[in-house]
Amino acid sequence: MIVNRPPMGWNSWNTFGENINEDMIKEMADAMVEGGYLDAGYEYLVIDDCWAELHRDEKGNLVPSKEKFPNGMKALADYVHSKGLKFGMYSCVGFLTCAGYPGSYDHEFQDAATFAEWGVDFLKYDFCYRAITVKQKMLYRRMGLALEGCGRDILFSACSWGRDETEKWIQSTGAAMWRKTGDINDRWGTFHYLADKVMDNITSCSRGCFGDLDMLTVGMNGKGNVGQGGMTFNEYKMHFTLWAQMNSPLMIGCDIREADEETRKILLNKDVIAINQDPLTAMPYNIEHYGGWNNEGVKIYVKHLSGGDLAIGIYNFSEEEAPCIVTLDLIGLPPSTGKTLRVKELWTGTEKTVANGVLRTPVGAHDCKIYRCKVIDI
Ligand code: GLA
């Protein structure tokens, strides 16, 4: 299945872990529509691990937990589809999933057929309990092939945590997105660690196979399965902006039934989402800090947008406000071009024209700025 934009949706793991059930999932589907999330682009509702019975049936089929999902997955998929959403599920390359439920190892074609029969549109495929005798890429190819032939369009979301140089082989598996890192937790330390891992190694995060930086923790505020103290509003804003600019899939992980205004302000920022969903799907790149003015903790990224626009993101991971300088020469606009930028900061709406070839702005500690920029005559 060819995917032209980073997939967007909601996933049960970050907040609910194994505490999932049919009623909660239906309420989440309602909230995705009534809260304006579907309209903003979040279309996949994904049930992560822990949905199955511990054992397959006598024919070897996966069985949904009778207690958590008493009406089975087909009925739930029908409900999700009736809301205009797409329905996602989870399995694993190994004989068990990460949480110890049956995995799809040696059942790939059978399980793909089951998912198709249930009306599944998205499959997250994890990396635990894998057979060490089979190369990891073969395990993803098996399921990729099974999904392609199952008679239904199912988006294949690989979750191999960037292991075994995933970026080198993932496009041979049919996956539309691939997890670049280990798991996120809802705290600054983990966010910073994951960001560091991906920021200087921007690989395969474009059309057809997007690099997945893991589900968003925005709005968790320390609550739920991976809640570990939470982050501030500016830190969540930075997390969302970076994921958006890096072309990561945007999968919400908080309980949107209870989202507060600050959370909604971040998750539903249409201008920032537009940077993520831009039709050009260009790879972002990073630029040097000019003349030592920016301290070590500041990272600057640029992404080309359709129609000749640019997105410039400035991320301050340090503990102090930093005076940041973006030199237009470094993005292809030396003064000799006779061009400069008209920029709009997408969290404040502030606009200005860049003078003298340098965009100067202070950026607070653990904060960011993201500009949508138009090239104009000086
Ligand atoms: C792994 C994945 C997580 C989540 C859990 C479920 O850790 O990386 O995203 O799916 O498994 O057990």
Q: Determine the pLDDT at residue 126.
A: 98
Q: Is 159 in the pocket of ligand 1 (CB under 6 A)?
A: yes
Look up residue 14 and give its two tokens.
């970050």
Question: 2 alpha carbon to ligand 1 midpoint, in Å?
Answer: 24
Shortest-distance Cα residue to atom 6 of ligand 1: 49
Across 148-157, b (16+ Cβ under 10 Å) vs e yields eebeeebbbb
- Cβ neighbours of 133 (radius 10 Å): 5
Q: Determine the pLDDT at residue 2.
A: 83
> Taking the mean position of all CA atoms in its chain, how far away is CA 81?
22
> Taking the mean position of all CA atoms in its chain, how far away is CA 100?
24
Give the nearest ligand 1 atom to 183 CA: 8
**What residues contact residue 255 under an 8 Å CB cut-off, 6+ apart?**
15, 16, 28, 219, 220, 223, 224
Question: 270 alpha carbon to ligand 1 midpoint, in Å?
Answer: 29
Contact, 343 vs 312, CB < 8 A? Answer: yes
> Taking the mean position of all CA atoms in its chain, how far away is CA 13?
13
Question: 145 alpha carbon to ligand 1 midpoint, in Å?
Answer: 22
Look up residue 81 and give its two tokens.
């589809």
Q: Determine the pLDDT at residue 205.
A: 81
| Interatomic CA distance for residues 8 and 263, integer angstroms | 16
End-to-end CA distance of the chain: 44
Give the nearest ligand 1 atom to 99 CA: 12
Unique residue bearing structure tokens 């409900």: 79
Q: Is 49 in the pocket of ligand 1 (CB under 6 A)?
A: yes
Q: Is 212 in the pocket of ligand 1 (CB under 6 A)?
A: no
Element (H, E) at 327: strand 322-327
Q: Determine the pLDDT at residue 290.
A: 65
Facing residues of 311 across strands? 303, 372
Unique residue bearing structure tokens 């249409």: 270
With CA atoms as reference, report the closest residue to 246 among 180, 290, 341: 180
Facing residues of 301 across strands? 286, 313
Q: Is 126 in the pocket of ligand 1 (CB under 6 A)?
A: yes
Give the nearest ligand 1 atom to 124 CA: 10
For every one of its 378 residues, what pLDDT tens digit does the chain have, with 9 covering 90 and above?
A: 889 999 999 999 999 999 999 999 999 999 999 999 999 999 999 999 999 999 999 999 999 999 999 999 999 999 999 999 999 999 999 999 999 999 999 999 999 999 999 999 999 999 999 988 888 899 999 999 999 999 999 999 999 999 999 999 999 999 999 999 999 999 999 999 999 888 877 877 888 899 999 999 999 999 999 999 999 999 999 999 999 999 999 999 999 999 999 999 999 999 999 999 999 999 999 998 764 555 678 999 999 999 999 999 999 999 999 889 999 999 999 999 999 999 999 999 999 999 999 999 999 999 999 999 999 999
Give the nearest ligand 1 atom to 161 CA: 8
Q: Determine the pLDDT at residue 200.
A: 73
What are the residue numbers of the active site? 126, 183
3-class secondary structure, 230: strand
- Cβ neighbours of 132 (radius 10 Å): 6
Whole-prediction pTM value?
0.97
Question: 126 alpha carbon to ligand 1 midpoint, in Å?
Answer: 7
Q: Is 27 in the pocket of ligand 1 (CB under 6 A)?
A: no
Give the nearest ligand 1 atom to 159 CA: 8
Q: Is 16 in the pocket of ligand 1 (CB under 6 A)?
A: no
CA distances from 72 to 9, 54, 101, 194 (A): 22, 15, 17, 36
Question: 13 alpha carbon to ligand 1 midpoint, in Å?
Answer: 7
**What residues contact residue 348 under an 8 Å CB cut-off, 6+ apart?**
none
Facing residues of 373 across strands? 310, 343
| Interatomic CA distance for residues 303 and 290, integer angstroms | 18
Q: Is 13 in the pocket of ligand 1 (CB under 6 A)?
A: yes
Dump the DSSP string for 70-134: TTHHHHHHHHHHHTT-EEEEEEESSSB-TTSSB--TT-HHHHHHHHHHHT--EEEEE-SS--TTS
Q: Determine the pLDDT at residue 377.
A: 97
Is the dihedral angle over the CA atoms 217, 219, 222, 225 positive or is it negative?
A: negative
Phi, psi of 177 (to 5 degrees): -155, 155
Question: 219 alpha carbon to ligand 1 midpoint, in Å?
Answer: 19
